[in-house]
Amino acid sequence: MKNKNPWHIYFIFIGAFFLLNILNTYMLTVQGLNRYIAPFKHTFLGEVNAFIGNFSVLFLMLLLLFIFIKKAKSRMISLMILTFLLNFYIFWMGVFNLFFGTAFSLPASTIFNNPSDGFAMGTFLQALLELITYYRIIVFLPTIILIVLYFMADRIKLKEMQFKVTIKKTVSGLLIVVLLMFSAVTTYYDQFAKTLPLNSAKSTFAIQNLGVYPYYLGEFFGQPLDIDLVRFLELNDENAIATAYQEYNKNQTTYINFFDGKTYSNRLNMNQAVDGLYVDPTIANGNNLHGILEGKNLVLVHLESLNSFLFENQYTNERMVFINRLMEQSFVFNNFYNNVGMGVSSDGELSVLTGLYPMGDRTLYWEFDNIQYVLNTLPKYFNQLDYHTEVIHGDNEKFYNRDHVYPELMMFDNFYSLEDYIEDGYNIEDGYVYNTINNKTHHSPWISDYHLAETTNSFGQQLINQNKPFMLFPITMMPHTPYEFDPNGLRTDVYPQYIDTINPITLRYINYVDYVDDIMKRFFLTEFNQDQTLENSVYVFYSDHGSGLKNGDLDILLNRNLSVTETRKILQQVPSFIYVPGDEYVDYGDYQIRKGLLTGEQNLVRSQVDLYRTIIELFNLPVGKDTYYGVHGLSVEPTYALDNRLMDVVLDEYFYSMRNKEKTHPESAVVSDDVYDYILRFKILSDILISTSGMQKQVDQAIVNVYGD
């Protein structure tokens, strides 16, 4: 190299800068290089447009550097530094994909508003581990190659070489950049509107079809590249709004289901309920299922990060003895999925408490600081019945902006958080003694879920003694990625068959099964197995989202080869069930569980938005003519589940990606245009509802005005 013309080496270096940094963007856009991303279908036009977009931004950066730096050697050093920064950015965007499965966008950055106590170190170490375990070091290959080229060159001659950038060349260069970017952005908007016009899918679509560098540069300068959804659907007046939303509104005396063409109602009866449903005579109302839980208390339990595959794996399932016994006395959703987006846990709450989908690319709980949403919520309806509504959570009150969202948006009467526990005498450093006989203590940065269960029982009993009906919303804290702070520790003897075969993070996750089973038991039994079930109360359990394990360990745990799409489906499936304890007991030897008054199984697809409607109708909440969507959990009505971050859809027959409907499970499935468009249209309507202040009230009023009372 040193014998070659230094100008040749210089231009090879410049060419390598462009080529390597453009190729490096594929680490974020091609699933074969990044198993964590859910990409769109790659097209020739999209690839060409992304190349143009990436090239134009790199050319602009190079032009700006060359204006101020004259010597070839200094320019090469500057380009190496710039390349390292670009590579470093690509690496951290890959880490973001690891945890969230979609490309980063500026609205998603609100997730970092949350206090990081308890998460930061474990998450950071997991990210660094990616450099080795998943060969993410390869994203720094452009920097390495440029360094090698630099040291192979004759740096003495390079130091003497200068190349002046004239005003004419600068203007010409800037004009080229403007023309290229205008062409790339115009093509991007045209393709985006035709493919999947959802702002939650924008970041992934943009980095594939506009380019990684122009997309993030645009976000940095405040150009979000969003689509005006109201204008896109032509919702120009009250009639258009009412017609659009009434098609999906399920709060009607009769409506026709899109998927099977049958007529259903907002008053479910036994004729359209699942087979095998048992309703105890003490709560039965003849053939009518509407309002059978009216007047009862509600304990809505939010379970952190549980996947349904834990019940499918023989070894984890056999350790969940209490949960399995509890589900024998419950109505169980066997095919239940989350609806979360970027807000993850808070999005799970949003769907259950409001029956709406989160946007997917942002956290509504944090957006509430800027947009004063007015939504219909379960606590609001229970408040109208003079219930006491309260959230109990062992984390910082500011996490997900809950200190504002719970009272002001969700309309809870009270929020009992970590700060309240401490104010009432709890010492985090001392931990919580959950087993007094053996003096076992749970240490964590948050309130132990043992403590949470005891608090729920204590609060509920106080309200019962005051003859005050209630809705309590206890939110468990663990297991939470990266699955630390298990009071039982990481035991290698529990699953010897998996030692050295699965990743440590997966082993930590399945170790948590014992803890989860124990804390579920504590909601109903004391440490000494004495019954502490709350009288006249209904317990509804749901998990907010799955574990997020994406490292191939599911194949080992489930003992079969899984495709990428099937893996995503499994990771989105979470447990949910309804337990209505009666006065009779079922004896299990060491303890007794109250016999359930409502039992059965739902094998059709259901999700968190369906739980909202189910609670409304079972408790006969005073919704009036307010719109709600989804289907009743106990009915035979078919529906779908939508993951709002990856835009995956689960139907009873198959699973597919809205980002690329050719990606299905099973692979032979074919997604019709009618099904795709029907689901897409409602997702757009839902996004409009929760991105515009007062839109839900406007929709409710429009339907009343157009369709009457």
Residue 384 lies in a domain: yes
Nearest CA-CA partner of 555 in 536, 570, 535 = 570
Tell me the pairing of strands 388-393 and 336-337.
unpaired
Q: How far apart are CA 157 and CA 180, in angstroms?
A: 35
Q: Give 479's pLDDT tier (boundaries 50, 70, 90).
A: very high
Tell me the pairing of strands 641-643 and 664-665.
unpaired
Residue 237 lies in a domain: no
682-686: list long-range contacts, CB under 8 Å, 24+ apart.
682/248, 682/629, 683/198, 683/357, 683/642, 683/644, 683/647, 683/658, 684/197, 684/198, 684/229, 684/232, 684/233, 685/233, 685/244, 685/245, 685/248, 686/356, 686/357, 686/629
* Overall average pLDDT of the 675-680 stretch: 96
* Same domain, yes or no: 282 and 204: no
Who has greater pLDDT, 118 or 389?
A: 389
Instruction: Name the phi and psi angles at 554, rounded to 5.
Output: -60, -35
Query: Is the per-residue pLDDT at 123 higher than 60?
Result: no
- 332 forms beta bridges with 577, 601
Q: Give 130's pLDDT tier (boundaries 50, 70, 90).
A: low
Asked which of 101-105, 437-441, 670-674 is least confident by mean pLDDT, the reply is 101-105
* Same domain, yes or no: 202 and 310: no
Residue 629 lies in a domain: yes
Q: Give 303's pLDDT tier (boundaries 50, 70, 90).
A: very high
Region for 489 from its dihedrals, namely left if φ exceeds 0, alpha if ψ lies in -120 to 50, beta otherwise:
left
Task: Report yes or no: 567 and 548 within 8 Å, Cβ to Cβ.
Answer: no
* Same domain, yes or no: 166 and 309: no
Query: Is the per-residue pLDDT at 675 higher than 90?
Result: yes
* Same domain, yes or no: 284 and 177: no
Handedness of CA 95, 98, 100, 101 (dihedral sign): positive
- Residue 385 has a CB neighbour count (10 Å cut-off) of 14
141-187, pLDDT tens digit by residue?
Answer: 999 999 998 887 766 566 555 566 667 777 787 888 889 888 888 89
Side chain identity at 440, as an amino acid letter? K
Residue 244 lies in a domain: no
390-412, pLDDT tens digit by residue?
Answer: 999 999 999 999 999 999 999 99
* Same domain, yes or no: 179 and 294: no
Instruction: Name the phi and psi angles at 194, rounded to 5.
Output: -85, -20
Q: Is 409 exposed, middle or buried (0-12, 13-18, 19+ CB in 10 A)?
A: buried
Radius of gyration of the chain (CA): 28
Domain boundary among 227, 253, 277: 227
* Same domain, yes or no: 50 and 159: yes
* Same domain, yes or no: 466 and 606: yes
* Overall average pLDDT of the 548-574 stretch: 91
pLDDT score, position 128: 58
Q: Give 23's pLDDT tier (boundaries 50, 70, 90).
A: very high
- 705 forms beta bridges with none
Residue 519 lies in a domain: yes
* Token pair for 381: 């309806």
* Same domain, yes or no: 77 and 18: yes
Q: What is the DSSP string of 139-190?
A: GGHHHHHHHHHHHHS-HHHHHH-B----HHHHHHHHHHHHHHHHHHHHHHHH
- 298 forms beta bridges with 471, 538
* Overall average pLDDT of the 193-218 stretch: 88
pLDDT score, position 318: 97
Q: How far apart are CA 544 and CA 538, in angstroms?
A: 19
Residue with tokens 């729920």: 456
Residue 591 lies in a domain: yes
* Same domain, yes or no: 190 and 89: yes
Side chain identity at 52, as an amino acid letter? I
pLDDT score, position 111: 67
Asked which of 21-35, 119-133, 244-258 is least confident by mean pLDDT, the reply is 119-133
Nearest CA-CA partner of 533 in 600, 575, 576, 584 = 584
The model carries a pTM of 0.90
Instruction: Name the phi and psi angles at 318, rounded to 5.
Output: -70, -10
Out of 119-123, 489-493, 650-654, give the one with best mean pLDDT.
Answer: 650-654
* Token pair for 554: 């599911």
pLDDT score, position 119: 54
b/e 539-551 (16+ beta carbons within 10 angstroms → b): bbbbbbbbbbbbb
* Same domain, yes or no: 193 and 300: no
Task: Report yes or no: 138 and 505 within 8 Å, Cβ to Cβ.
Answer: no
b/e 143-173 (16+ beta carbons within 10 angstroms → b): bbbbbebbeebbeebbeeeeeebeeeeeeeb
* Overall average pLDDT of the 582-589 stretch: 96
As for how many domains the chain has, the answer is 2
63-80, pLDDT tens digit by residue?
Answer: 888 888 888 778 889 999
pLDDT score, position 217: 87
* Token pair for 539: 């317990």
Task: Report yes or no: 191 and 67 within 8 Å, Cβ to Cβ.
Answer: no
Task: Report yes or no: 17 and 58 within 8 Å, Cβ to Cβ.
Answer: yes
Q: How far apart are CA 105 and CA 266, in angstroms?
A: 39
* Same domain, yes or no: 313 and 411: yes
**Strands in 396-500 per DSSP E:** 414-416, 432-435, 440-442, 470-475
Q: How far apart are CA 574 and CA 557, in angstroms?
A: 16
* Same domain, yes or no: 279 and 166: no
Task: Report yes or no: 342 and 362 within 8 Å, Cβ to Cβ.
Answer: yes
**Strands in 247-350 per DSSP E:** 255-256, 263-264, 278-279, 297-303, 330-333, 336-337
Residue 697 lies in a domain: no
pLDDT score, position 668: 95
Range of the domain at 93: 6-227
Q: How far apart are CA 660 and CA 647, in angstroms?
A: 10
Query: Is the per-residue pLDDT at 104 higher than 80?
Result: no
Q: How far apart are CA 406 and CA 545, in angstroms?
A: 20
Residue 444 lies in a domain: no
Domain boundary among 227, 261, 294: 227
318-357, pLDDT tens digit by residue?
Answer: 999 999 999 999 999 999 999 998 888 999 999 999 999 9
* Token pair for 237: 């007046």
* Token pair for 48: 């060409």
